[in-house]
Chain A
Amino acid sequence: MLNSYIRRHGPLWLSLVAGIALWEIAGRSTSRAFMVPFSETLLRLWQLMTRGEFIAQFLDSAQLFLTGFALALIVGAPLGLLLARVRTLRIGVEPYIMILYATPMVALIPFILSMMGFGFAPKVLVVFLFSVFPILYNTVEGARSIKPELIEVAKSYRSTEWSLWREVMLPYTLPYMMTGVRQAIGRALVGMIAAEFFLSSTGLGQLIMGASQDFDTAGVFASIFVIGLIGVGLTRLGLMIEQHFARWRQ
């Protein structure tokens, strides 16, 4: 038991320890303005946590992330499924979804800023725009992968619309849609930070910005560290969701 655990996860822990050691040494041997050792980053993080500042900003960011992402899901998923079913509509809309998927949405932030100002709504819009197109794009990809014969066979056996959905459409499109959801989670996180940087400064974005403006390098490192961990966690979650639905696709 223990032996196999060590063999499997030993190198990972070893490399983590080595990385932290490297960070510590690099931090101690350069100027404090450039880099801060790991120990000091943790210390600063602890201070931020205990002062309650961190929790407040975290909740603020989480609210933004969840609202924008939920909207993207509420709009993207049904629309994607509709496109999967209505072929003409899908063919018509496809290229535009591809274009919007490939467009760097950050470029729209200045417009959103000057039209909608600094409230909560424009920031939600940014997160929404970042995350809705991966969902749509991948769902349409999935819809394209449905063989027309399958639908024809289902129809010639007089399957109802409901069972057509349940047995052909959903099993084919859901795995793709979940790939979209995974991508959307990552993009929504970028959108969240971008909105917090470039629209009104709040949440975790504000935590970094504030630290950077105060030349508080330890604060910058602490915030990047935490946001990085959140990113890793969310990516994991996305992969789990995707794999759960993609079991049969391999």
Chain B
Amino acid sequence: MTQATIAAPAPAESKVSLLARGALVPRLVTGLSILLLWEIVVRAFAPAYVAKPSTVVLAIPRVITDPSFLQALGATLLAVAEGLAITIVLGTVIGLLMGRSSAVDRVIRVYINGFNAMPMIIVLPLFSLWFGYSGAARIATIIFAAIFAITMNVADGARSVPREYLEVARSFRSDRWRVLNEIVLPASMPYLLAGFRLAAGRALIGAVVAEFFLSIGGLGYYILYNSRSYHHNEAFVGVLLLAGFGVGFELLVNGATRRFMPWYRRDEKSG
């Protein structure tokens, strides 16, 4: 097992059984106490501009109707979507090549591993040099942040295709394209999804970091600008949204894995 695949989605306990066993009450209590504690601590010790639950809630309607916020949100989401689209296509192609050809694997694995281990934000100064302080640098950062996660997962997936499947295909004389399309790709799907989950999170981080660094319009810059001008509540709404996207990707991929690939279990979990 390589590092990218270990962080696989755990098949979550089903909602119904959890609620039946009384998970809802402890969860609500914990959530409310976190919010209450936060509110009290900030009221008691922090200056007035610091975000606290009550004022953040009040800021939500103001922020989500603010055109500049919507514009920033749109810019970031568009960049993440574009970056991820490029990443998925490129990453899958490279990953499949690596997984199915040991020659390709030997040549580029060291680089994929190496780049993946790099803290991705160190390329920002270089990308700003190459692409200027522009949206192109943001897209490049997103791709760089996300692509290795997908590549490594797809390569692992393509490598783990059971040999018997391929032998059957070969004995029925199916051509390479059909083997790829009908055996290798479907068999690596769970890995692709696990890679996508990692990649989506990293793409989001890449976008925010790039906006911080390059000062280009987007959700990250909105947060930076507002917290600099002591509008912490408004800025925090942006953070909530980012957290929502992060959790959303996680749930989406876990849900898709369970829904479309119910046979796929990484780790049997119980309790």
B112-166 interface (Cβ within 8 A of A): 113-126, 128-130
A196-211 interface (Cβ within 8 A of B): 197-198, 205, 208-209, 211
Bound CA–CA A226/B18 (angstroms):
48
A99 touches B120 (CB 8 A): no
Q: Pick the contact of A91: B23, B118, B205 (CB < 8 A).
A: B23
Q: Which of A49-57, A109-117, A118-126, A156-164 contacts B (4 or more CB under 8 A)?
A: A109-117
Q: Is A39 an interface residue (CB 8 A)?
A: no
Q: Is B173 an interface residue (CB 8 A)?
A: no
What interface size band does chain B fall in? 35 or more
Q: Pick the contact of B117: A107, A186, A220, A221 (CB < 8 A).
A: A186
Q: A110-B227, A220-B129 are in contact. Are A115 and B46 (CB under 8 A)?
A: yes
B119 touches A106 (CB 8 A): no
Q: Pick the contact of A92: B3, B30, B50 (CB < 8 A).
A: B30
A108 touches B110 (CB 8 A): no
Q: Is B269 an interface residue (CB 8 A)?
A: yes
Q: Is B183 an interface residue (CB 8 A)?
A: no
6 contacts between A and B (CB under 8 A): A18-B107, A102-B247, A102-B249, A102-B250, A194-B209, A224-B126
Q: Pick the contact of B129: A33, A114, A148 (CB < 8 A).
A: A33
B233-271 interface (Cβ within 8 A of A): 235-236, 238-239, 242-243, 246-247, 249-250, 267, 269-271
B84: min CB distance to chain A, Å: 15
Bound CA–CA A138/B125 (angstroms):
33
* Residue-wise interface mask of A (136-152) relative to B, using a CB-CB cutoff of 8 A (1 in contact, 0 not): 00000100111110000
Q: Pick the contact of A212: B46, B118, B128 (CB < 8 A).
A: B128
A212 touches B243 (CB 8 A): no
